[in-house]
Homo-oligomer: A and B are copies of this chain.
Amino acid sequence: MYPGGATGETKERIYHPIWLTLHLWNVILTEELTNYDEAFSPMSAFNNHPLDKMFHPASIAVVGASSSTSETGWVRRLLDFGYKGEIYPINPKVTEIQGLKAYPSVPAVPNPIAYAILNIPAHLVPQAMRDCVAKAVKFVHCFAAGFSETGTEEGRRLQAEITKIASDGGVRLIGPNCMGVYCPESRMTFGEDFPKEIGRIALISQSGAEASRLIFLCQDVNLYFSKVVNYGNAADLDAPELLEYLTNDKETDIIALYIEGVKNGQRFMSAVKQCLKKKPVVILKAGLTKNGADVAAFHTTAVTGSKAAWDYFLKQTSAISTHTMDEVADILQGLNRIKKLWSERVAIVGRGGGIGVIATDICERAGLIVPPFSSETHENLLQIKSDAGAMLRNPMEPKLGMEGAADFYLKGLPIIDQDTETDIILIQMAVDIYGGHTPGLIQNVSAAAYALCAVAESIKKPIVVVLFAGGHTDTVMAVAAARNILTKAGIPVFSGVEAAARSLSKIYDYYRSIENLK
A-to-B contact residues, CB < 8 Å: 1-8, 10-11, 145-146, 149-150, 177, 193, 205-210, 212-213, 216-217, 219-221, 258, 260, 284, 286-292, 294-296, 298-299, 323-326, 351-358, 360-362, 364-365, 369-372, 387-391, 393-395, 400-401, 430, 432-438, 470-473, 476-477, 480, 483, 496-498
Check A353/B5 contact, CB under 8 A, given A290-B364, A364-B289, A365-B323: yes
Which chain B residues border A393 with CB–CB below 8 Å? 295, 298
Whether A436 pairs with B193 at a CB distance below 8 angstroms is yes
Residue of B nearest to A401 (CB): B1
> Considering the chains assembled together, what is the distance between the CA atoms of A358 and B177 in angstroms?
18
Interface centre among A212, A217, A357 (most CB of B within 10 A): A357
Which chain B residues border A2 with CB–CB below 8 Å? 433-434, 436-437
Check A432/B291 contact, CB under 8 A, given A8-B400, A299-B352, A351-B209: no
**A325 shortest CB reach to chain B, Å:** 7
> Considering the chains assembled together, what is the distance between the CA atoms of A391 and B365 in angstroms?
38
Whether B291 pairs with A4 at a CB distance below 8 angstroms is no
> Considering the chains assembled together, what is the distance between the CA atoms of A188 and B217 in angstroms?
41
> Among B207, B208, B217, B291, which residue has its beta carbon within 8 angstroms of that of A360?
B291
> Among B7, B149, B389, B480, which residue has its beta carbon within 8 angstroms of that of A10?
B389
> Among B146, B292, B432, B472, which residue has its beta carbon within 8 angstroms of that of A357?
B292
> Considering the chains assembled together, what is the distance between the CA atoms of A19 and B298 in angstroms?
80
What are 20 sample pairs from A and B whose C-beta atoms fall under 8 A apart?
A: A2-B437, A4-B400, A5-B389, A5-B400, A6-B389, A7-B390, A208-B353, A209-B430, A209-B433, A210-B354, A210-B355, A212-B433, A216-B436, A284-B358, A295-B356, A295-B360, A299-B354, A323-B365, A324-B497, A326-B496
Whether B206 pairs with A354 at a CB distance below 8 angstroms is yes
Which chain B residues border A11 with CB–CB below 8 Å? 387-388
**10 new A-B pairs (CB below 8 Å) besides A206-B354, A213-B355?**
A1-B401, A6-B389, A145-B388, A207-B355, A209-B353, A209-B434, A210-B353, A287-B361, A289-B364, A291-B364
> Among B3, B209, B217, B289, which residue has its beta carbon within 8 angstroms of that of A361?
B289
Whether A434 pairs with B292 at a CB distance below 8 angstroms is no
Residue of B nearest to A477 (CB): B473
> Considering the chains assembled together, what is the distance between the CA atoms of A205 and B209 in angstroms?
41
> Considering the chains assembled together, what is the distance between the CA atoms of A388 and B473 in angstroms?
39
**A177 shortest CB reach to chain B, Å:** 7
Whether A216 pairs with B354 at a CB distance below 8 angstroms is no
> Considering the chains assembled together, what is the distance between the CA atoms of A291 and B470 in angstroms?
27
> Considering the chains assembled together, what is the distance between the CA atoms of A358 and B286 in angstroms?
6
> Considering the chains assembled together, what is the distance between the CA atoms of A213 and B359 in angstroms?
14
Which chain B residues border A294 with CB–CB below 8 Å? 372
> Considering the chains assembled together, what is the distance between the CA atoms of A150 and B388 in angstroms?
10
Whether B292 pairs with A364 at a CB distance below 8 angstroms is yes
Which chain B residues border A212 with CB–CB below 8 Å? 433
Interface centre among A1, A10, A213, A358 (most CB of B within 10 A): A358
> Among B210, B295, B361, which residue has its beta carbon within 8 angstroms of that of A292?
B361
Interface centre among A7, A205, A296 (most CB of B within 10 A): A7
Which chain B residues border A365 with CB–CB below 8 Å? 289, 323
> Considering the chains assembled together, what is the distance between the CA atoms of A312 and B294 in angstroms?
37
> Considering the chains assembled together, what is the distance between the CA atoms of A290 and B371 in angstroms?
9
> Considering the chains assembled together, what is the distance between the CA atoms of A213 and B472 in angstroms?
12
Whether B389 pairs with A470 at a CB distance below 8 angstroms is no
Interface centre among A284, A295, A299, A472 (most CB of B within 10 A): A295
Whether B205 pairs with A260 at a CB distance below 8 angstroms is no
**A472 shortest CB reach to chain B, Å:** 7
- Give the 6 A-B CB pairs with smallest separation, nearest first: A207-B354, A220-B471, A289-B364, A145-B389, A210-B354, A7-B389
Residue of B nearest to A351 (CB): B209
Which chain B residues border A217 with CB–CB below 8 Å? 470-471
> Among B206, B287, B353, which residue has its beta carbon within 8 angstroms of that of A207?
B353
**A383 shortest CB reach to chain B, Å:** 18
> Considering the chains assembled together, what is the distance between the CA atoms of A436 and B291 in angstroms?
29
> Among B400, B432, B438, B476, which residue has its beta carbon within 8 angstroms of that of A216?
B432
Which chain B residues border A356 with CB–CB below 8 Å? 295, 299
Whether A354 pairs with B258 at a CB distance below 8 angstroms is yes
Check A291/B370 contact, CB under 8 A, given A434-B1, A436-B216, A473-B480: yes
> Among B8, B433, B472, B496, which residue has its beta carbon within 8 angstroms of that of A220?
B472
**A324 shortest CB reach to chain B, Å:** 6
**A328 shortest CB reach to chain B, Å:** 10
Check A389/B355 contact, CB under 8 A, given A395-B295, A433-B4: no
Which chain B residues border A145 with CB–CB below 8 Å? 388-389
**A134 shortest CB reach to chain B, Å:** 28
Check A260/B389 contact, CB under 8 A, given A288-B361, A434-B2, A436-B216: no
